[in-house]
Structure 1
């Protein structure tokens, strides 16, 4: 059951980026650049192209730099989309950040919304990722539909054992002890407020919310059909640059 394309999203940009040091000692990870465009702008570009009109961006590490970049974007492209910066004096982690935005009315209590990691970069397949998620999401039976990707289409994987296995109906499960599973969370999902409903205020990971949804049978996965990039070490950036150049060279010309 498809839902209307969400008009609002949460962009998670508050992390410390420790694995990308020394690059992130004086720069927040979302402001690292890939092909001369910041990861933050790339994520916002995807959301804008999908018709998302309001985005909440959380910030903590070098939050002033995030604020400056967002102000420059707003000056250049006013209202495309409208951005609310939510500074975190102390880190709330991914789940806590979403819950706090919902508590302040910055995300819809009833309608679905996107949650996107600011450091995830992907190429769209035949149908754009965000449209695929909206088309496949059924809030009557799930609280979150997450984008998963196979390790073979990844650079810079942070989880060599994988994050999830997936059955033919798209129901994920966590790996068993010593098991290697094929799918990684790609940093993009569509969800409703029910995903973090009743979770305590304060810092917590979205993994806790996913585990609760798994137990209730209300979590599903959708497999990505193109390249995905995640950056866990400085050398991942030039690797991704090369992969993007190679991918561009494969596009036929007319």
Structure 2
């Protein structure tokens, strides 16, 4: 059973300006619920009671917002550490077993079985250092990239590489094991550095999401995502 989780909430949200000049992107409300609360709600339903949220931009706003959610520990970054550095800094708060990590700048909704439950069920400790939830590009709302991964028959992953496109993108939801961070760089770095190490060892795995996924990248994208979410949540 996974008991710890981290939500990444330290980003600057530059593409969401001017909204994020005064409101950190995780606290932007989409269809009546902040993106940070939506991620924490998923984790709460999964029974996770050891929660860590990292902060950098407008940290006091996030701290005040979380004051009403029970015990959530904050990992503040005076200097933005990116995804890998942010998780590495918070490792002392995340225990010694696999833990969830979720981005707070995306929104996902579940299929028949909650995505976090599916991830936990799919985790094989002997074989995996990281298990990524993947979204089919063709059903991703608000995404205009070329995809990130191909998935092999044994659920290990391959990068898009030189291909024109790949069918799956990283959703921003995952399970990581602390051993993934052994020998990790100091300070600021991307989780992609560690994914590539795990991939080379055949220990980067994926699970395809069977629900919906939304990326809110700009203020102009908000109305469309809100309309789709409200229709889905009726």
How high is the TM-score relative to the length of structure 1? 0.89
Structure 1 window deviating more from structure 2 (211-220 vs 20-29): it is: 20-29
> Do the aligned partners of 1:58 and 1:87 also contact (CA within 8 Å) in 2?
yes
Match in the other structure for 2:205: 220
Structure 1: tracts of 5 or more residues without a match: 250-254
| 1:149 maps onto 2:131 in alignment | no
| Match 2:105 to one of 102, 119, 123 | 119
> C-alpha separation between the residues in 1 aligned to 2:205 and 2:134?
10
Pairing 1:31–2:31 present: no
Equivalent residue, structure 1, for 2:95? 108
Alignment of 1:1-254 (within 5 A): 4=1, 6-71=2-67, 73-74=68-69, 78=70, 82-102=71-91, 105-109=92-96, 111-157=97-143, 160-248=145-233
Whole-Å Cα distance in 2 between the matches of residues 236 and 221 of structure 1?
28
Equivalent residues, number: 234
Looking at structure 2, the residues matched to 115 and 201 of structure 1 have their Cα atoms a distance apart, in angstroms, of: 20
CA contact (8 A) 2:31 2:227 kept: no
Moved over 3 A (4+): none
Q: 1:152 offset after TM fit, Å?
A: 2.0
The runs of 5 or more residues in structure 2 that have no matched partner are: none
| C-alpha displacement of 1:163 | 1.0
Q: Which residue of 2 aligns with 1:252?
A: none
More strand by share: 2
Supply the distance in 2 between the matched residues of 1:215 and 1:236 (Cα, whole angstroms). Answer: 37
8 Å CA contact retained: 1:150, 1:183: yes
Give the Cα separation in 2 of the matches to 1:246 and 1:67.
31
Alpha-carbon RMSD across the aligned residues, in angstroms, is: 1.3
Task: Say if 1:156 and 1:233, in contact at 8 Å, map to a contact too.
Answer: no
After TM superposition, the structure 1 stretch with the greater mean CA deviation from structure 2, 9-18 or 172-181, is 172-181
